[in-house]
Amino acid sequence: MAELQKSNKMFGGWNRRYSHESRELGCAMTFTVFYPPAAESGKVPVIYYLSGLTCTDENVIQKSGIQRKAAEEGVAIIAPDTSPRGLNIPGESDSWDFGVGAGFYLNATQPTWKNWRMYDYISKELPSVLQSFKELDASNAAIMGHSMGGHGALTLGLRNPQLYKSISAFSPICNPIQVPWGQKAFSGYLGDNQEEWKQYDATELVQSYSGPPRSILIDVGTADDFLEKQLKPENFAKAAAAHGGSSVKLQLRMQDGYDHSYFFMSTFVDDHVAFHAKALKGAQ
């Protein structure tokens, strides 16, 4: 049972932040829902927004302005946290890109990090919690994210096409097994068997995608400091073109002069909400 922590009206709808005890993660978790005005008169579809390294559920809620277009389109925004918190695991806060705030949307297999099961939390437990929210049609969902959350959106979306009608990402870590952020996280959470890593790598996953046709929108800034070393969108685009065939329709937009920040994300967020709303409304 989720408990309401606070509520703020915005663009005719409501940001409502909840907490609940997560069985999957073994700790209390928070998430925020933006309810559009349309939720007052019937169930609305949902867009999951996955945040990046060091973030919580509040980053997108407070910085992006995503609510304006969501209110217009009549879709809810679901913003979960990025990792377990409060477990006091030795080393959990030693670095900003591993541990607390850095769950990487996977199910850890290493004993120390056994509670880091954000993949199952996002794909199974949180949707189950949302089933009791009478305003939401959690069965009609899309997924998007930023940076580490863009990685999560791509991998969750490609592996679970039955759960998400569309996928989009800002500045995603597209090929984590080939970059320092991913290598650090995957070796720590999953161990040294790199074959195990591939199930959480979007570039690897798109090569074997065999689900229903799926549209993917990705925006990346050309002035992103992490573009060459950490993101590798060109690897994902090549794999999608070579192996996705007619099943994966990728739109990769390189936005001139933009960086990795929420200044960039907020500039193009309306496009992403409209992209998902089209897919979600087509499913109704």
- Tens of pLDDT, residues 193-223: 999 999 999 999 999 998 899 999 999 999 9
**pLDDT above 80 for 266:** yes
Rounded Cα gap, residues 169 and 83, in angstroms: 19
Mark residue 65 as left, alpha or beta (left: phi above 0; alpha: psi -120 to 50; beta: remaining): left
In this prediction, residues 236-264 reach a mean pLDDT of: 93
Rounded Cα gap, residues 231 and 216, in angstroms: 16
Q: Give 283's pLDDT tier (boundaries 50, 70, 90).
A: low
- Tens of pLDDT, residues 79-123: 999 999 999 999 999 999 999 999 999 999 999 999 999 999 999
Q: Of the listed 147, 166, 168, 171, which one is catalytic?
A: 147
- Tens of pLDDT, residues 35-93: 999 999 999 999 999 999 999 999 999 999 999 999 999 999 999 999 999 999 999 99
Is 147 a known active-site residue? yes
From the list 25, 135, 121, 125, the residue with the least C-alpha distance to 77 is 135
* Percent of the chain at pLDDT exceeding 70: 99
**Residue 1, helix vs strand vs coil:** coil
State the Cα angle at 125 between 236 and 32, rounded to 5°: 80
Q: Of the listed 146, 260, 272, 276, which one is catalytic?
A: 260
Q: Of the listed 51, 81, 224, 276, which one is catalytic?
A: 224
Is 276 a known active-site residue? no
